[in-house]
C-alpha cells in the first residue's frame, strides 16, 4: 500500500505541456499553431521563438499581439493485473479496466509587445509557459484501486476463518476520483540589438510562477451482502464486534484523501542570436536551467495510520524540486520567393535528465527530449496567408519514469491555418493543430515488485494513450 500514497502525492505531474518538452509549452502564438517551425521568424511571435530576430522586424515602433487558445486532451490507461491461479482476489485471476482521463484548458492567453528602432528593440511576453489545464480522472486511477483491493485482501486474510475467506472486490464498492490543476505563468523581458545588416543578438530573462492544486480520494465501502454477513458474525461472536463494526460504515474499508496546493517561482536567463544572408536565416535561442522549488500548502492529507513517514514529503510546508530544464532551439529558414513563399526547419533539445524532479525521476529518462519541426508559409496575396507545419517529439521515456500519475507518450503534431491582413497594421491569425501519440506499454513483473510496486504476486501491464487538439485565434497590431 505504501506505493499508493507515494503516487497519490505525485498528482502534481498529472497536467503536462501541450507542445514542447515534458514541462514546457511552446505553442504560445497562433503562428506556431499554423506553422509549427517559427524559430526563424522576425514577426511579433519572434519575441518567444526567436527574440534576436525582433531586431529585424520590418516595422519600427510598437507592435502588440493578443492570442487565445483552447486545448482539449484525453489521457487513458488500460490496466491489466494478473494474480496467481486460484488466489481468488479477482474473478478468473485477472483484473482489467480502462481508466479515462480528460484534460481541458478552455482559455490559454498570451500577450506580446515589442518596441523597435532601426538598431535595437525591447520586447516582452506573458503567457502560460508550462502546464496549462486540468487533468481529471472521474473514476480514479488503476494504481490506487489495485492497491486498495490487494491491501484489503491481505489485511483480512487473518479473518478468513471468520468470514469464510478474505474480502474480495465483489464484496465492496470503490469510489475513486483524481484531479490535478497546474499552471506555470511566465513573464519575459529582453533587449535585442542589430550589430549590422546580417547579425543581431538578444539577452533577457523570464520570471516563472508555478501554481497547482491536486485533490483526490479513494474510498471503499462494504456492499449490502458483506454488511449483512458482518452483522450476523457480530451477533454470533460479539467479541469481534469492535473489529467488524467499523468495517460496515461508509468508507469503512479504506479511506484516502488529499487536497494540496503548491506554489513556487524561478528565473530563466535567455540568450539568442540571428544571422541573415539574402533569403537565408539561421537563428538560435538558449534558455538556461531554471531552479524551481514548489512548496506545499496542504489542507487535507488522510490515510491509514502507519504511513506518516511516506507522506512527510507532501505535508504542509514541504518543498519539492521541479526544475525547468535548459533548452536549445535552433532553426534555419529560407525565402524561396521573396515576400511570398518561405520555409523553416528547426530542432529543439530539452535537457530533462539534468533538471531535478520529485523523487529524482528525471534520472530514469533515457535521454533529454528531442524535437524536430518543419513548416512552410505562403502569402497568397497582400491579404491572405496560409501555412502548415509538422513536429516530431521524442522524450526518451522508460518504464521507471512512467507512472499512473505522470506519463508521457512520444508524438507527432500537424498544424495548419492562416492569417488575414485586415489592414496594413492589423493581422488576424487562425490556427489548429492536433497531436497523434504512440501508445506506451509498461510491463511489470514480479522482479519489478509487481503491478506498480503494489505486490510482487501481482504482475501486470499499463498501456498509456493520449489525444490532443488545440484551436486558437489572435490579433497582431502595429502602432
pLDDT at residue 13 is higher than 60? no
% of the chain surpassing 70 pLDDT: 94
The pLDDT score that the predictor gives to residue 310 is 57
Q: How far apart are CA 137 and CA 179, in angstroms?
A: 6
Q: How far apart are CA 30 and CA 66, in angstroms?
A: 9
| Range(s) of the domain holding residue 157 | 2-478
pLDDT at residue 12 is higher than 50? no
The better pLDDT of the pair 103, 424 is held by 424
The pLDDT score that the predictor gives to residue 397 is 94
The burial class, CB within 10 Å (0-12 / 13-18 / 19+), for 177 is: middle
Q: How far apart are CA 405 and CA 16, in angstroms?
A: 11
Confidence grade of residue 308 (pLDDT, cut at 50, 70, 90): low
Q: What is the tens place of the pLDDT at every residue in 142-190?
A: 988 998 899 899 889 988 899 989 999 999 999 999 888 888 999 999 9
The burial class, CB within 10 Å (0-12 / 13-18 / 19+), for 115 is: middle
Q: What is the pTM of this model?
A: 0.90
Q: Residue 85 in 3-state DSSP? A: coil
Orientation angle between helical segments 224-236 and 241-248, nearest 10 degrees: 160
Confidence grade of residue 228 (pLDDT, cut at 50, 70, 90): very high
% of the chain surpassing 90 pLDDT: 68
Mean pLDDT for the stretch of residues 401-422:
92
Nearest to 268 by CA among 350, 167, 154: 350
The pLDDT score that the predictor gives to residue 23 is 82
Number of domains in the chain: 1
99: cell is 481508466
Lowest mean pLDDT among 12-16, 88-92, 187-191, 249-253: 12-16
Alpha helices, DSSP H, located in 22-113 = 30-35, 46-49
Average pLDDT, the chain: 90
CB 28 within 8 A of CB 48: yes
Mean pLDDT for the stretch of residues 445-471:
92
Q: What is the CATH number of the domain that holds 341?
A: 2.40.160.60
Q: How far apart are CA 112 and CA 130, in angstroms?
A: 17
CB 260 within 8 A of CB 296: yes
Q: How far apart are CA 354 and CA 151, in angstroms?
A: 36
Place of cell 506553422: 35
Mean pLDDT for the stretch of residues 39-60:
97
pLDDT at residue 9 is higher than 50? no
Nearest to 7 by CA among 317, 353, 446, 462: 462
The pLDDT score that the predictor gives to residue 132 is 58
Confidence grade of residue 424 (pLDDT, cut at 50, 70, 90): very high
Maximum CA pair distance of the chain? 95
41: cell is 521568424
Amino acid at each position: 500500500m505504501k506505493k499508493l500514497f507515494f503516487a497519490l502525492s505525485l498528482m502534481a505531474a498529472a497536467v503536462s505541456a501541450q507542445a514542447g518538452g515534458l514541462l514546457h509549452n511552446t505553442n504560445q502564438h497562433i503562428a506556431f499553431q499554423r506553422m509549427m517551425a517559427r524559430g526563424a521568424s522576425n514577426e511579433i511571435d519572434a519575441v518567444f521563438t526567436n527574440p534576436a530576430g525582433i531586431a529585424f522586424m520590418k516595422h519600427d515602433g510598437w507592435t502588440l499581439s493578443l492570442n487565445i487558445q483552447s486545448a482539449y486532451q484525453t489521457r487513458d490507461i488500460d490496466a491489466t493485473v494478473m494474480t496467481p491461479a486460484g488466489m481468488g482476489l479477482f474473478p478468473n485471476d485477472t483484473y482489467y479496466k480502462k481508466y479515462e482521463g480528460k484534460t481541458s484548458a478552455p482559455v490559454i492567453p498570451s500577450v506580446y509587445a515589442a518596441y523597435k528602432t532601426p538598431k535595437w528593440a525591447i520586447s516582452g511576453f506573458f503567457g502560460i509557459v508550462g502546464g496549462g489545464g486540468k487533468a481529471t480522472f472521474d473514476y480514479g486511477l488503476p494504481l490506487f484501486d489495485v492497491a486498495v483491493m490487494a491491501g484489503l485482501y491481505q489485511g483480512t486474510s487473518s479473518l478468513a476463518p471468520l468470514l469464510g475467506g478474505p474480502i474480495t472486490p465483489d464484496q465492496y464498492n470503490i469510489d475513486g476520483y483524481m484531479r490535478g490543476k497546474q499552471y506555470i505563468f511566465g513573464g519575459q523581458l529582453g533587449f535585442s540589438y542589430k550589430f549590422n545588416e546580417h547579425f543581431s543578438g538578444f539577452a533577457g530573462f523570464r520570471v516563472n510562477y508555478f501554481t497547482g492544486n491536486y485533490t483526490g480520494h479513494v474510498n471503499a465501502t462494504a456492499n449490502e451482502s458483506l454488511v449483512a454477513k458482518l452483522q450476523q458474525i457480530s451477533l454470533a461472536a460479539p467479541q469481534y464486534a469492535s473489529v467488524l463494526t467499523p468495517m460496515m460504515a461508509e468508507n469503512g474499508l479504506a479511506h484516502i484523501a488529499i487536497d494540496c496546493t503548491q506554489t513556487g517561482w524561478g528565473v530563466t536567463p535567455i540568450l539568442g542570436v540571428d544571422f541573415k544572408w539574402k533569403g537565408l536565416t539561421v537563428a538560435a535561442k538558449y534558455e538556461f536551467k531554471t531552479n524551481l522549488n514548489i512548496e506545499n500548502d496542504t489542507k487535507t492529507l488522510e490515510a491509514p495510520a502507519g504511513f506518516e513517514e511516506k507522506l512527510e514529503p507532501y505535508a504542509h510546508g514541504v518543498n519539492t524540486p521541479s526544475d525547468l530544464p535548459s533548452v536549445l532551439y535552433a532553426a534555419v529558414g529560407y525565402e524561396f520567393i521573396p515576400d511570398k513563399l518561405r520555409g523553416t526547419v528547426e530542432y529543439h533539445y530539452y535537457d530533462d535528465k539534468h533538471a531535478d524532479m520529485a523523487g529524482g525521476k528525471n534520472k530514469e529518462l533515457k535521454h533529454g527530449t528531442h524535437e524536430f519541426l518543419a513548416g512552410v508559409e505562403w502569402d497568397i496575396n497582400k491579404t491572405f496567408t496560409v501555412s502548415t507545419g509538422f513536429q516530431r517529439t521524442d522524450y526518451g521515456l522508460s518504464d521507471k519514469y512512467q507512472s499512473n500519475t505522470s506519463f508521457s507518450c512520444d508524438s507527432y503534431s500537424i498544424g495548419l491555418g492562416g492569417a488575414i491582413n485586415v489592414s496594413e497594421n492589423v493581422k488576424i491569425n487562425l490556427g489548429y493543430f492536433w497531436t497523434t501519440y504512440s501508445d506506451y506499454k509498461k510491463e511489470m513483473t514480479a522482479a519489478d515488485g509487481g503491478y506498480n510496486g503494489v505486490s510482487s504476486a501481482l504482475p501486470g501491464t499499463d498501456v498509456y494513450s493520449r489525444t490532443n487538439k488545440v484551436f486558437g485565434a489572435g490579433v497582431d497590431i502595429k502602432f
